[in-house]
Structure 1
Amino acid sequence: MTGGRQERRPPGFDRAVQAVALLGGALLVALATMVTISVTLRSDLVGKAGVPGDFELVQMATAVAAFCFLPYCQLRRGNIFVDTFTMKLPLRVQHGIDAVWDVVYGLVMLLIAWRLAVGARAAFASGENTMVLQWPSYWPIGLCAALAALVAAAAFVSAARLLRGSA
């Protein structure tokens, strides 16, 4: 209880999405630490080789982290809105228009998730690995596919909330 009223806990879906975003943040902190170590090792001061496969790790982790943030951004209504022509419409109409675009966004993210899943399956079938570390490349692709599906779910949830008037 705060200020005489009980705070409402966010629904479980929102908490799960927030946890995924926090994992993405932790991944970026770990990535920044690894890049700092790699650059320091390559400096004239130390003069050694950097972290093996650092560029591969940057590529994979950045993609995964970006997909980790998208569902949270969607639920917080943090995406870019161009509402120049709709600002003077009634709020209910604005929410209806936004809900339609959330559904379109969700459908596009499902398409992206599907194609990423196809790509992950192809990478698995061909035994494709990263060049330096020789890690299977289907892991980050498949993870991005799952996260893209989560973005789609977040878009559908936010559309439903707009239509219910609880956005």
Structure 2
Amino acid sequence: MQGIALLGGVLLITLSATVVTSVTLRSDLVGSAGVPGDFELVQMATAMAAFCFLPWCQLRRGNIFVDTFTLKLSERWQRRIDATWDIVYALVMALIAWRLAVGARAAFGTGETSMVLLVPTYLPIGLCAGLAMLVSVTAVVSARRLLRTAP
């Protein structure tokens, strides 16, 4: 999981360098056309990077949570509530993964590509579908850890 998150970080760093290069090339100093398809790269890479970070974040319990109403409950009940929300998160991410997979299949079937770079759009969509399913599985693992570990 940590490797996938690091891959997302490398993807964002590379994307940042591409954007800086493109903006610099478009400046008055250089006057060039910039990096072709930079906006397409930003769209695809940002989505993939976000999905790369989510499984590691879930395993580390790094997601934002609000515990205003549960602070006075016992730790056992807090863990049960957190595990329930992890399962809800897993179900939502499974739904997202399913719909992304349907979208990737449709894009593959029609041969859809991006406008400038002509990248087949099913590739990033399918990758995000797989990563979303990984998030779903990770959320289930996280819920099981909460329920199995004694407070």
Residue 66 of structure 1 corresponds to 50
Partner letter of residue 91 of structure 1?
E
Shift of 1:79: 1.0
Q: Distance in 2 between matches of 1:24 and 1:166?
A: 33
Partner letter of residue 121 of structure 2?
S
Q: Distance in 2 between matches of 1:93 and 1:110?
A: 26
Partner letter of residue 4 of structure 2?
V
Consecutive unaligned residues of structure 2, counting only runs of 5 or more, are none
Q: Distance in 2 between matches of 1:79 and 1:88?
A: 21
Q: Determine which of 97, 117, 121 is the counterpart of 1:133.
A: 117
Q: Distance in 2 between matches of 1:121 and 1:166?
A: 43
Question: Deviations for 1:27-69, whole angstroms, at most 9, x for unmatched residues?
Answer: 0000000001111111111111100000000000000000001
TM-score in terms of structure 1 length = 0.88
Question: Deviations for 1:78-97, whole angstroms, at most 9, x for unmatched residues?
Answer: 11111111111111111011
Q: Where do residues 52-91 of structure 1 align in structure 2 (5 Å cutoff)? A: 52-91=36-75
Q: Does 1:124 align with 2:105?
A: no
Cα RMSD over matched residues?
A: 1.1
Residue 29 of structure 1 corresponds to 13
Q: Distance in 2 between matches of 1:166 and 1:127?
A: 52
Shift of 1:166: 6.7
Q: Determine which of 99, 117, 128 is the counterpart of 1:115.
A: 99
Partner letter of residue 101 of structure 1?
W
Shift of 1:22: 0.2
Q: Does 1:105 align with 2:95?
A: no
TM-score in terms of structure 2 length = 0.98
